[in-house]
């Protein structure tokens, strides 16, 4: 029987388990990436593991998220990361070099290899036919220590792209259509494998827009075959030697095949406040736009920005629109400058930001109150822009630029302009001088630790029984941005006691104080949630900070993949309602008890929650592998390690 791409890569990397969809497997990881906002915690955990040098083929530490640096905290973190990189043999991509996913695609991604990254958009490198997966920092630390990365053996869905994109319709519209079909929930344990003649016609940066935003569907990853387009891209990056062709077998099997005709697509947008709230740009009826942001790891490649520059050349953006431009990498910026496009963009009124995450994570360029902001990024969760009542729409660069010119939502096909076709240049200017490779000849490096760097906190082992209060009850699709906001709060990433003050800040600002009080009274906190809890980012702080506040369990209708792994890694029970309606019966403030929790978890039995306030009982499941049971019983992965050193 023929094999699909995913099976081919997984089989080559399989270390633990059998390739049976739904079962846990452990795979060898060739490369890792971290970024600064998750990296400090990942490296603190790596230090705690105690391995003298990394054991991967290559690990890269990027500084791209917290680059605004108001106060000393982030500069301290950056220096910590630099000293860690030298000490443990890690490559450092300095602040100013660009967004991790864009730079990794340009300089390090390799067809057929495995990559895990402490950022949910790590699947971007699936555009190069890598098996590239987002994970919590502790999982990345363990992979750097040479340990397997565990995942559920995926079911693979083939997305067969047919036809060709019409003018003014681009890769962003493809992935928005995919989000329209698959939504942001219900895709745990799935991988999207793209193929077909339409896929072959897309360049690597276009593929990267699609694999990047597959993260919003909650799939484990997405990937494309490695073909002539891959060779062209790697050649332009002066690394044609890294090319390897990789295709699924002709008779490969898939759990499902979905056909998508590119020629039938039109410009799309994801409306507030979820990436799957998709509609056509035409249906937006020319509503007025206050801000347009071009950039982020989804749409800030040379191709995206040249397309924008060509549309904008000789024109100036609408007086009511603040037009923000954040190139994806220093390479993109240097090449735009060489080819004159940067001047065209600046002449059009673009406000040039650092080539970093910036506006996308809400640490700058928050739009005005109640505004309409069109962004080429990947997430429009409430408050993520830094303005709670802003209405953020996700769009393609073409649609973004059309709105920047007209001051209104405008279908770019209605602008009356010729479509600016462009191809990848034969050769990019390559300048790796902001990439620091570890120097093996240097004597042992001292690790820099500023006052912002704390120790990674650990949980206590799972008690025999849980006596808890429902500190908060939330609805469906709660994202990690809801659980622990980024933006202005993100500078406390290395200081858990401080960062924990902001848990659920945007839903219930009194959460942290309430949770601390319950913890001080000797009880535990429980979070009750609806469907798809933990969407979005990989930030393990969405588990660590609640753990620090004494949260011992989350009871939800369903969970997302990375967040479940993070909860388990920090000893928080992910419990799933087994009976419809039980969610509705529980209220915030209810007192709950779970008897014999250790025994039930060890035996893999259904657990019973007794609601003392309501006099009711609910059955909940906790589907854990033997490895995960061990972690939960010990109160977290670091505790398992401490109990079994070496």
CA 517 to chain CA centroid, nearest Å: 33
Name the binder of 377 from ligand SF4, ligand MIC, none, CB < 5-8 A by kind.
ligand SF4
Q: Whole-angstrom Cα distance, residue 620 to residue 553?
A: 11
Q: Whole-angstrom Cα distance, residue 9 to residue 3?
A: 10
What token pair was written down for 310? 């060509």
Q: How far is the CB of 597 from ligand MIC (least distance, A)?
A: 30
Binding mask 238-277 for ligand SF4 (x = CB under 6 A): ----------------------------------------
Q: How far is the CB of 130 from ligand MIC (least distance, A)?
A: 17
Name the binder of 99 from ligand SF4, ligand MIC, none, CB < 5-8 A by kind.
ligand SF4
Question: No. of H helices and E strands in the chain?
Answer: 22, 27
Q: Could you tell me the sign of the dihedral formed by the alpha carbons of 322, 304, 396, 420, in that order?
A: positive
Peptide bond into 273 cis (omega under 30): yes
Name the binder of 329 from ligand MIC, ligand SF4, none, CB < 5-8 A by kind.
none
Q: Whole-angstrom Cα distance, residue 531 to residue 529?
A: 7
Single out the residue of 78, 107, 121, 557 in contact with ligand SF4 (rule: CB under 6 A).
121
Single out the residue of 7, 106, 119, 582 in contact with ligand SF4 (rule: CB under 6 A).
119
Q: Whole-angstrom Cα distance, residue 302 to residue 294?
A: 12
In the window 296-335, what residues touch ligand SF4 (CB under 6 A)? 296-297
Count of C-beta atoms within a 10 Å radius of residue 646: 4
In the window 51-70, what residues touch ligand SF4 (CB under 6 A)? 65
Considering only CA atoms, give the Rg of the chain.
Answer: 24
Q: Whole-angstrom Cα distance, residue 45 to residue 147?
A: 14
Name the binder of 226 from ligand SF4, ligand MIC, none, CB < 5-8 A by kind.
none
Q: How far is the CB of 26 from ligand SF4 (least distance, A)?
A: 26
Q: How far is the CB of 214 from ligand MIC (least distance, A)?
A: 13
Which are the contacts of 183, defined by CB distance < 8 A and separation ≥ 6? 217, 276
Q: How far is the CB of 536 from ligand MIC (least distance, A)?
A: 6
CA 515 to chain CA centroid, nearest Å: 27
In the window 356-375, what residues touch ligand SF4 (CB under 6 A)? 357, 360-361
Q: Whole-angstrom Cα distance, residue 285 to residue 290?
A: 15
Q: Could you tell me the sign of the dihedral formed by the alpha carbons of 379, 498, 502, 369, in that order?
A: negative
The stretch near ligand SF4 (CB under 6 A) out of 355-363, 406-414, 569-577, 587-595 is 355-363
Q: How far is the CB of 599 from ligand SF4 (least distance, A)?
A: 41
Phi, psi dihedrals of residue 213, rounded to the nearest 5°:
-85, -5
Q: Closest CB to ligand SF4 among 213 and 462?
A: 213
Q: Whole-angstrom Cα distance, residue 230 to residue 113?
A: 14
From the list 29, 14, 16, the residue with the least C-alpha distance to 145 is 29
The stretch near ligand SF4 (CB under 6 A) out of 222-230, 354-362, 446-454, 572-580 is 354-362
Q: Looking at residue 578, what DSSP letter applies?
A: -
Q: Closest CB to ligand SF4 among 291 and 524?
A: 291
Q: Closest CB to ligand MIC among 120 and 291?
A: 120
Name the binder of 539 from ligand SF4, ligand MIC, none, CB < 5-8 A by kind.
ligand MIC
Q: How many residues touch ligand SF4 (CB under 6 A)? A: 11
Site for ligand SF4 contains 99 (CB under 6 A): yes
Name the binder of 38 from ligand MIC, ligand SF4, none, CB < 5-8 A by kind.
ligand MIC
Site for ligand SF4 contains 125 (CB under 6 A): no
Name the binder of 462 from ligand SF4, ligand MIC, none, CB < 5-8 A by kind.
none
Q: Closest CB to ligand SF4 among 154 and 328?
A: 328
What is the biggest distance separating any 2 CA atoms in the chain, rounded to whole angstroms? 71
Burial readout 310-329 (b: 16 or more C-beta within 10 A, e: otherwise): bbbeeeebbeebbbbbbbbb
Which are the contacts of 379, defined by CB distance < 8 A and separation ≥ 6? 216, 275, 360, 394, 479, 481, 536
Q: Closest CB to ligand SF4 among 204 and 601?
A: 204
Binding mask 579-598 for ligand SF4 (x = CB under 6 A): --------------------
Q: How far is the CB of 487 from ligand MIC (least distance, A)?
A: 9
| Contact residues: ligand MIC, CB under 6 A | 37-38, 65, 119-121, 361, 486, 536-539
Q: Whole-angstrom Cα distance, residue 404 to residue 263?
A: 26
Q: Whole-angstrom Cα distance, residue 215 to residue 213?
A: 5
Q: How far is the CB of 390 from ligand SF4 (least distance, A)?
A: 16
Q: How far is the CB of 356 from ligand SF4 (least distance, A)?
A: 8
Q: How far is the CB of 283 from ligand SF4 (least distance, A)?
A: 26
Q: Closest CB to ligand MIC among 276 and 590?
A: 276
From the list 446, 554, 544, the residue with the least C-alpha distance to 493 is 544
Name the binder of 37 from ligand SF4, ligand MIC, none, CB < 5-8 A by kind.
ligand MIC
Q: How far is the CB of 444 from ligand MIC (least distance, A)?
A: 30
Distances in whole angstroms, Cα of residue 130 to Cα of each of 123, 138, 168: 8, 21, 29
Q: Whole-angstrom Cα distance, residue 573 to residue 528?
A: 12
Which are the contacts of 467, defined by CB distance < 8 A and separation ≥ 6? 523, 524, 591, 592, 593
Q: How far is the CB of 3 from ligand MIC (least distance, A)?
A: 30
Binding mask 373-392 for ligand SF4 (x = CB under 6 A): ----xx--------------
Q: How far is the CB of 449 from ligand MIC (least distance, A)?
A: 20
DSSP helix/strand/coil, 552: strand
Q: Closest CB to ligand SF4 among 376 and 611?
A: 376
Residue ranges that bind ligand SF4, judged by CB under 6 A: 65, 99, 119, 121, 296-297, 357, 360-361, 377-378
């Amino acid at each position: 029987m023929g094999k699909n791409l995913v099976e081919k890569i997984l089989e080559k990397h399989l270390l633990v388990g059998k390739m049976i969809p739904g079962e846990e497997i452990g795979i060898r990881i060739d490369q890792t990436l971290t970024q600064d906002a998750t990296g400090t915690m990942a490296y603190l955990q790596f230090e705690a593991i105690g391995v003298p040098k990394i054991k991967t083929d290559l690990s890269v530490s990027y500084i791209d998220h917290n680059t605004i640096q108001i106060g000393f905290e982030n500069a301290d973190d950056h220096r910590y990361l630099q000293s860690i990189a030298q000490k443990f043999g890690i490559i450092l991509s300095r602040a100013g070099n660009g967004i991790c996913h864009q730079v990794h695609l340009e300089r390090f991604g390799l067809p057929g290899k495995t990559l895990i990254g402490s950022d949910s958009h790590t699947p971007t490198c699936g555009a190069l036919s890598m098996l590239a997966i987002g994970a919590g920092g502790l999982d990345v630390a363990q992979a750097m220590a040479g340990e397997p990365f565990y995942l559920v053996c995926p079911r693979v869905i083939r997305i067969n792209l047919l036809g060709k994109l019409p003018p003014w319709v681009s890769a962003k519209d493809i992935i928005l259509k995919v989000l329209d079909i698959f939504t942001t929930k219900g895709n745990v344990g799935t991988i999207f494998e793209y193929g077909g003649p339409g896929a072959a016609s897309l360049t690597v940066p276009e593929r990267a827009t699609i694999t990047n935003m597959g993260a919003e569907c909650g799939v484990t990853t997405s990937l494309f075959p490695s073909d002539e387009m891959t060779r062209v891209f790697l050649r332009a990056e002066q690394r044609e030697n890294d090319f390897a062709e990789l295709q699924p077998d002709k008779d490969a099997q898939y759990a499902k095949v979905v056909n998508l005709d590119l020629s039938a697509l039109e410009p799309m947008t994801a409306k507030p406040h979820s990436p799957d709230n998709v509609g056509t740009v035409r249906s937006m009826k020319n509503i007025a736009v206050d801000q347009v942001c071009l950039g982020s790891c989804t749409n800030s490649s040379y191709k995206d920005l040249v397309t924008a520059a060509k549309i904008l050349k000789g024109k100036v953006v609408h007086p009511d629109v603040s037009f923000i431009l954040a190139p994806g990498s220093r390479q993109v910026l240097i090449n735009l400058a060489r080819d004159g496009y940067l001047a065209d963009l600046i002449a059009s009124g673009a406000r040039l930001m650092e080539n970093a995450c910036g506006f996308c994570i809400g640490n700058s360029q928050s739009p005005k109150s109640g505004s309409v902001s069109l962004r080429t990024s990947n997430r429009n969760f409430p408050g993520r822009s830094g303005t709670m009542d802003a209405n953020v729409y996700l769009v393609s660069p073409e649609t973004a630029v059309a709105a920047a010119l007209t001051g209104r939502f405008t279908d770019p096909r209605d602008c009356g302009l010729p479509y600016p076709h462009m191809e990848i240049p034969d050769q990019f200017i390559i300048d790796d001088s902001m990439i620091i490779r570890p120097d093996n000849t240097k004597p042992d490096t001292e690790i820099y630790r500023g006052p912002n760097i704390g120790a990674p906190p650990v949980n206590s082992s799972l008690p025999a029984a849980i006596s808890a209060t429902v500190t908060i009850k939330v609805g469906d699709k709660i994202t990690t941005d809801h659980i622990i906001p980024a933006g202005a709060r993100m500078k406390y990433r290395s200081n858990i006691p401080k960062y924990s003050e902001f848990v659920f800040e945007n839903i219930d600002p009194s959460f942290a104080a309430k949770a601390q009080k319950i913890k001080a009274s000797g009880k535990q906190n429980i979070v009750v949630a609806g469907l798809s809890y933990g969407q979005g980012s990989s930030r393990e702080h969405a588990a660590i900070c609640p753990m620090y506040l004494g949260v011992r369990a989350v009871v939800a209708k369903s969970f997302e993949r990375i967040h479940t792994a993070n909860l388990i890694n920090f000893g928080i029970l992910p419990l799933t309602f087994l009976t419809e309606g039980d969610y509705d019966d529980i209220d915030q403030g209810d007192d709950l008890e779970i008897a014999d929790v250790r025994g039930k978890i060890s035996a893999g039995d259904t657990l019973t929650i007794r609601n003392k306030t309501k006099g009711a009982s609910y059955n909940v499941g906790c589907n854990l592998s033997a490895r995960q049971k061990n972690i939960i019983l010990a109160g977290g992965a670091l505790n398992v390690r401490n109990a079994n050193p070496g």
